[in-house]
Structure 1
Amino acid sequence: MGKETGVVLPDNWVIIRRISDIKNEEKDDFNQIGIQISVYVAKTEKLACIYLANQIKGNFTYGITTYNNLKSTGTKLIPDETHENIGHYLIDKIKLSTLNNLFSNHKNDRLKKFKANLTQENLNKAGINLNLNTLLSLFEKYEINTLNRVCGFLAQCAHESGNFKFKEENLNYSANALLAAFPKYFKSIDEAKGYERNPEKIASKIYANCMGNGDEASKDGYKYRGRGFIQLTGKNNYEDFAKSIGKSIDETLEYCLSDEGALESALYFWKRENLNELCDKDDIKTMTKKINGGFNGLEDRESKHKKLRIIFA
């Protein structure tokens, strides 16, 4: 056993590894008689949140509560080791029902504090130049109502839109870039040169005959090119979004170029793809694949997520 941290525990924040970190063969014991699990104790809530943000990778799910809440269950902490500002402890024979009650009892207080921290000042600190009232109204509509969901959504949108600067797909490709990005559609440099630096021609070709678009001559590909903070693309997607918000298709295309419309189109996609469920699991990798189709920019998305958790926690 290592030395106990030199701080007064009742004033500390406790980070607990949840049941997803418990082996399957231990779960029956967990439910009946309780098992020993690991916790970490931080000197301040800020330090706890920073540590928590660093644990979002992998398959573990973490939660946070206070030492006083833990103590109220009659549970004792056994000191194990200390590193920097985080102390590692063990909880002996805690039951699943007790653990769930710990987080349930603390949830409302955490939610109130999180909402209080979702301010215009903190949005600006995060580099998010959006109107708070618009954000809160749309978040309520699309159930972005927890710290995980807010940070997950904003981090992904920030990456996709260059920190909320771009609301429209950039299709201004050189001939060489077209060959690299769209080899399926451009087989030679000469063919690509006939399209380079012409976004209308490029979009009309690469988005032809898919997502409800007509052929290249119809120019539907360009009309229904990507717009919004998570670029909505294709006639079918725009029609579905337009129907969901009670606007005509042309009104919707224009709406997606406004801050509010760029935000709502991204939220519409978010809800349609059930990304809140992935936020609840802190599964940034799967979230990224659903949005990007791969894992491009994963490190930046994770970095943004971590920063937002620290700001809004």
Structure 2
Amino acid sequence: MTLTAPQLAAACGCSGHAARRWLGPLVQAMARYGIDTPARQADFLAQVGHESGSLAYVEEIASGAAYEGRKDLGNTQPGDGQRFKGRGLIQITGRANYAAAGSALGIDLLANPERLEEPEFAALSAAWFWRSKGLNELSDLGEFDRITRRINGGTNGAADRWERRKRARTALGLDAPPALRRGDSGPGVLALQKALAARGVRVGADGVFGPATESALVVFQASHGLVADGIAGPQTRRALGV
């Protein structure tokens, strides 16, 4: 399938600007490393979205001093902890991992570790790590918790990762969201109303699907070549990005 910027924004929970910036590098990286089914892509984007704070961070916020002397990461030289702190969309960490990633990507990351902050290599390193750890195969088996453990070493942030997976699968058309119609209420309706308003359709945002929301939805559907039934089914929700 061809990933679009709106799908990426929904899958990773990022802004439209961030999605447009990262779309090319991520599409290239996923193609190179066999992340080539909607299910694999949903799992990958969910994990990357969590690790990068919705594509906002390509460098670990902490100094990296905690990794000093970590021989399991290959940090054998003074200063390795800070020099080889987490970078890239999946937080490559440690001298050994930088060396392996650099070899795979054809760049000298030991001499230039900051290159993992560049969009191209931030994305490629994440996809390289994904395949090198056998995560395509785990995705095919639906083993999302095992994927988390191989990335994180534990299950840190599991609830957020699962929520992101749910959003990513919906964005990529794997799990259809429920239809919204008159009489419904809650966060889903509120998101629908805000999406309509953002597209220039006048409607209040109170989280209640009443006659006014139904009428506004019919206007949007009619103007976008959708069935104008006032029900926010899968096609209408995809068109609105909710």
Which range, TM-score by smaller chain? 0.5 to 0.7
Could you list the per-position Cα deviations for residues 9-42 of structure 1 after superposition, in whole angstroms to 9, with x for gaps in the alignment? xxxxxxxxxxxxxxxxxxxxxxxxxxxxxxxxxx
Could you list the per-position Cα deviations for residues 123-173 of structure 1 after superposition, in whole angstroms to 9, with x for gaps in the alignment? 2334342432322221110001001100000001111111111111122xx
Q: Per the alignment, do residues 208 and 253 of structure 1 end up closer, same or farther by CA in structure 2, a change over 3 Å counting?
A: same
CA distance in 2, matches of 1:205, 1:291: 18
Q: Which is worse superposed, 149-158 or 131-140?
A: 131-140
Give the aligned partner of residue 213 of structure 1: 75
Could you list the per-position Cα deviations for residues 261-298 of structure 1 after superposition, in whole angstroms to 9, with x for gaps in the alignment? 21111111111100001111111111111111111221
Counterparts of 1:39-118 in structure 2, within 5 Å, are: 115-116=1-2, 118=3
Instruction: Kindly indicate whether the alpha-carbon contact (under 8 Å) linking 2:10 and 2:167 is maintained by their aligned counterparts in 1.
Output: no
Instruction: Kindly indicate whether the alpha-carbon contact (under 8 Å) linking 1:238 and 1:252 is maintained by their aligned counterparts in 2.
Output: no
Matched to 1:208, the amino acid is G
CA distance in 1, matches of 2:69, 2:150: 22
Residue 209 of structure 1: how far off its partner (Å): 4.7
CA distance in 1, matches of 2:149, 2:70: 24
Normalised by the size of structure 2, how large is the TM-score? 0.63
Give the aligned partner of residue 213 of structure 2: none
Counterparts of 1:165-204 in structure 2, within 5 Å, are: 165-171=56-62, 199=63, 203-204=64-65
Q: Which residue of the other structure, out of 272, 293, 304, is the alignment partner of 2:164?
A: 304
Q: Which has the larger radius of gyration?
A: 1
Show structure 1 runs of 5+ residues with no match: 1-114, 172-198
The answer as to 2:5 corresponding to 1:120 is yes
Counterparts of 1:18-33 in structure 2, within 5 Å, are: none
Q: Which residue of the other structure, out of 55, 80, 85, is the alignment partner of 1:164?
A: 55
- Secondary structure at the residue paired with 1:256? helix
Q: Per the alignment, do residues 204 and 278 of structure 1 end up closer, same or farther by CA in structure 2, a change over 3 Å counting?
A: same
Q: Per the alignment, do residues 254 and 205 of structure 1 end up closer, same or farther by CA in structure 2, a change over 3 Å counting?
A: closer
Give the aligned partner of residue 40 of structure 2: 149
Matched to 1:166, the amino acid is Y
Give the aligned partner of residue 29 of structure 1: none
Instruction: Kindly indicate whether the alpha-carbon contact (under 8 Å) linking 1:242 and 1:252 is maintained by their aligned counterparts in 2.
Output: no
Normalised by the size of structure 1, how large is the TM-score? 0.50
Instruction: Kindly indicate whether the alpha-carbon contact (under 8 Å) linking 1:207 and 1:234 is maintained by their aligned counterparts in 2.
Output: no
Give the aligned partner of residue 100 of structure 2: 240
Is the strand fraction higher in 1 or 2? 1
CA distance in 1, matches of 2:58, 2:24: 20
Residue 214 of structure 1: how far off its partner (Å): 2.5
Residue 252 of structure 1: how far off its partner (Å): 4.9
Show structure 2 runs of 5+ residues with no match: 174-242
Instruction: Kindly indicate whether the alpha-carbon contact (under 8 Å) linking 1:204 and 1:221 is maintained by their aligned counterparts in 2.
Output: yes
Which runs of structure 1 show a deviation greater than 4 angstroms over 4 or more consecutive aligned residues? Answer: none
Q: Which residue of the other structure, out of 246, 253, 256, is the alignment partner of 2:116?
A: 256
CA distance in 2, matches of 1:209, 1:307: 36
The answer as to 2:114 corresponding to 1:223 is no
CA distance in 1, matches of 2:7, 2:111: 32
> Matched residue pairs, number?
166
CA distance in 1, matches of 2:105, 2:41: 22
Q: Which residue of the other structure, out of 25, 28, 33, is the alignment partner of 1:134?
A: 25
Could you list the per-position Cα deviations for residues 100-136 of structure 1 after superposition, in whole angstroms to 9, with x for gaps in the alignment? xxxxxxxxxxxxxxx14x2122223343424323222
CA distance in 2, matches of 1:151, 1:209: 32
